[in-house]
Chains A and B, each alone.
Chain A
């Protein structure tokens, strides 16, 4: 599913607000829903409100009732499943929808049961929503707490015990298509995400025990063991390898890695993902940096879950990441889930620079307090008419042009720049008058040069 338009007649600060979420005229994907969208704006302009609204739209009123509330008045969204368009409406907290099948040009209203079946059919092997709140790292403590209290049960489980139970109830089936790290049961959600890795680890541990026992009793020799191990590995592909290959692309920059083979040196191996320094030293979970937690908690679900047709929401992805990581994190995430539609809310100019101008929804209050989308084009919504292109701008220009920062540095820079301008004018005047002593001009020049150096100002002419 992808969303191409949201119209809000009345919800919190949004009044008669429409967002076009399609590629503009002249783009190779003209008219198609955007692959990724970035919400920016001052605190209080409604970025997180928009993310919540998308959760409400995507939930279709069938999952997690708290997503929808009575304050949501006259909200409509255009959504697309291949050649099927669904018009979702929320009226005072009640969700309804009509469905167009483009092939048959058929429009009809659909009831809850039909909608549930539709979603289960279209998401039979994939997931509807993956949503990361800004405070995702708080999940980490919950996971560790849960896992610690469950240590013994995990270690003694048989592989078959950790496969989620089949649930024939459609409502519950649909629930497992939603991965919301803000409201869902964290342990349940992570068990689901890591179930194949956990199963693999437990299988490998059982296999090792079995082999050790056979070797001990002389039932197996080394040659036979190597042959048997090869066969076992062919039959049990290692899901840790893919996870390690992908996560290590960023983790290596923190001088860290995930190993693709469990070492079973400690019970930690069966708890959660294990992280090592590049020199092989293990970093216990409780010593992970906030950036490491942030990366693993957000990237792992995108790697492990099927994200085909999914909507992915990420609130403030810049949290805990150094600028160099912020620079590449959006491309990293979108490559992990190439067929998902991403909605990201950020305060970071570096994150914003990963987006094309038509992918940015900048929210702004005008002088009369009305909330508007600041448009980056004049005239028709055509790629030719865009006058801001974040990918071409310097960081300071993004801050000035997009984030409307008044200064190009600390406000103290502005005062120093005035001082530089005044000194320059004085120097020029003295030179032109020709009456000043060379010593006086030299002194002024030295002062000027000193200020220019502090400002990193390139002296061109005088």
Chain B
């Protein structure tokens, strides 16, 4: 899971709408799946910031061409092709109005939203999150917080961190964000091993963090 820079706002109409809620301390409009008028503005802007990859697992969710800036006009996403393989996800479910222990009606809060792979989102459900692994944190650095075992293809907490921090990170990796989900590990391993056999240019840009760890560890 790499760092995500969410400062590039292309869906400015949505952002103005969201900021109005925030500035005036108003409850957000209720999140109701894809029916909100700004749904695709949010999704496509997030995917633009995420390079078309799942924010957590780094699997590809959409082609690059639908994320080019020329798809936005007058602050709205205009491309008719809005197909993507994922779901809009609320990092902290407690900021959603419908959560049973809701801590705020902030359903459309930009900083709490990511686009993620559907299975990952469904598995994550309403599990409690630890902000230590939030990919748009200012000080988030995958290479300081994580390590990657090139045999098991599992991400683990960096061994140099204190035990309690490592436990928190490992819980997020394994139980919340689904980064070590068995099928994902298989996919990651297969892609990395084949990419280094045939040449990395030949493959899609999935799993950039695992690739980088692999490169560093194998000095390739």
On whether the beta carbons of B122 and A417 are closer than 8 Å, the reply is no
**B151→A462 contact, CB < 8 A:** yes
Which residues of chain B (124-163) have a CB below 8 Å from chain A? 125, 147, 149-152, 154, 156, 159
Task: Report the minimal beta-carbon distance from B96 to chain A, rounded to whole angstroms.
Answer: 10
Identify which of residues 58-77 in chain A touch chain B, using a CB-to-CB cut-off of 8 Å.
none
Nearest CB of chain A from residue B178's CB, rounded to whole Å: 7
Q: Say whether A435 faces chain B, with CB atoms less than 8 Å apart.
A: no
Q: Which of B87, B122, B152 contacts A424 (CB 8 A)?
A: B152
Q: Least Cβ distance of A414 to chain B in Å?
A: 6
A425 and B149 within 8 A (CB):
yes
A-B contact count (CB 8 A): 63
- A398 shortest CB reach to chain B, Å: 11
Closest chain-A Cβ to B216's Cβ sits at a distance in Å of 12
Q: Are B182 and A396 in contact (CB under 8 A)?
A: yes
Does chain B have a CB within 8 A of A152? no
B21 contacts partner chain A, Cβ-Cβ < 8 Å? no
Number of A residues whose C-beta is below 8 Å from B? 30
The answer to whether A407 and B182 have CB atoms under 8 Å apart is yes
Contact in complex: B119, A421 (CB < 8 Å) = no
User: Cα distance A408–B150 when bound, in Å?
Assistant: 19
Q: Is the CB of B152 within 8 A of A457?
A: yes
Beyond A404-B123, A425-B147, whether A418 also contacts B170 by CB under 8 A is yes
Chain A 363-421 residues near chain B, CB threshold 8 A: 364, 366-368, 370, 378, 396-397, 400-401, 404, 406-408, 414, 417-418, 420-421
Q: Are B156 and A422 in contact (CB under 8 A)?
A: yes
Residues of B within 8 A of A424 (CB): 149, 151-152
CB distance from B116 to the nearest CB of A (A): 11
Cβ–Cβ < 8 Å partners of B174 in chain A:
414, 418
B 150-194 binary contact with A (CB < 8 Å = 1; else 0): 111010100100000000001000100010111100000000000
| Tally of chain B residues near chain A (CB < 8 A) | 25
CB pair A406–B178 under 8 Å, yes or no, is: yes
Which residues of B are found within 8 Å of A5, using beta-carbon distances?
none
CA distance A401 to B123 in the complex (A): 12
Most buried by B among A396, A400, A462: A400
Q: Which residues of A contact B150 (CB under 8 A)?
A: 461
B149→A421 contact, CB < 8 A: yes
Please state if B122 and A367 are interface contacts (CB–CB under 8 Å): yes
Residue B80 at the chain A interface, CB threshold 8 Å = no
Closest A-chain residue to B150, C-beta based? A461
Given contacts A368-B33, A408-B182, A425-B159, contact A459 B151 (CB under 8 A): yes
Task: Name the distance in Å between B177's Cβ and chain A's nearest Cβ.
Answer: 12
**Is residue B32 contacting chain A, with contact meaning CB distance below 8 A?**
yes
Check A460 for interface membership: any CB of B closer than 8 A: yes
Question: Residues of B contacting A368 with CB < 8 Å?
Answer: 32-33
Contact A404 B119 (CB under 8 A): yes
Q: Which residues of chain B are within 8 angstroms of A428 by Cβ–Cβ distance? A: 217
- A417 to B173 Cα, complex, angstroms: 13
Q: With A368-B32, A406-B123, A462-B151 as given contacts, are A417 and B180 in contact (CB-CB < 8 Å)?
A: yes
Query: In the complex the two chains form, is A400's CB within 8 Å of B159's CB?
Result: no
- In the complex, A319 has a CB within 8 A of chain B: no
Once the chains are docked, how many angstroms separate the CA of A421 from the CA of B157?
Answer: 10
Give min CB distance, B14 to chain A, whole Å: 20
The answer to whether B50 has its CB under 8 Å from any CB of chain A is: no
Q: Does A147 contact B (CB under 8 A)?
A: no
User: Is A274 on the interface with B (CB-CB < 8 A)?
Assistant: no
Cβ contact within 8 Å between B159 and A366 = no
**Which single residue of chain A is at the shortest CB-CB distance from B33?**
A368
- Given the interface pairs A408-B182, A417-B152, A418-B170, the reply to whether A426 lies near B159 with Cβ below 8 Å is yes
Instruction: Check B121 for interface membership: any CB of A closer than 8 A.
Output: yes
Query: A366-B122, A370-B33, A408-B182 are contacts. A418–B154 as well, Cβ < 8 Å?
Result: yes
Residue from A364, A370, A460 whose CB has the most chain B CB atoms within 10 Å: A460
User: A368, A421, A462 — which one has the most chain B CB atoms within 10 A of its CB?
Assistant: A421
| Whole-angstrom CA separation of A461 from B192 in the bound complex | 14
Q: A404-B119, A406-B181 are in contact. Are A417 and B151 (CB under 8 A)?
A: no
Inter-chain contact B119/A422, CB cutoff 8 Å: no
A457 to B182, CA, bound (A): 13
A417 in complex: contacting residue of B85, B121, B154, CB < 8 Å: B154
Residue among B85, B121, B182 with most chain A CB within 10 A: B182
In Å, the complex CA distance between A31 and B174 comes to 43
Pairs of residues from A and B, 9 with the lowest C-beta to C-beta distance, nearest first = A408-B182, A421-B149, A421-B154, A421-B152, A368-B33, A421-B156, A400-B183, A424-B149, A400-B182
Sample of 10 further A-B pairs with CB below 8 A, known A366-B122, A400-B183: A366-B33, A368-B33, A400-B182, A404-B123, A421-B151, A422-B156, A424-B149, A459-B151, A461-B150, A462-B151
- Give 23 A-B contacts (CB < 8 Å), ordered by A residue: A366-B33, A366-B122, A367-B122, A400-B182, A404-B119, A404-B123, A406-B181, A408-B182, A414-B174, A414-B180, A417-B154, A417-B180, A418-B170, A418-B180, A420-B149, A420-B152, A421-B151, A421-B156, A422-B156, A425-B159, A428-B217, A429-B159, A461-B150
B residues touching A (Cβ–Cβ < 8 Å)? Answer: 32-33, 85, 87, 119, 121-123, 125, 147, 149-152, 154, 156, 159, 170, 174, 178, 180-183, 217
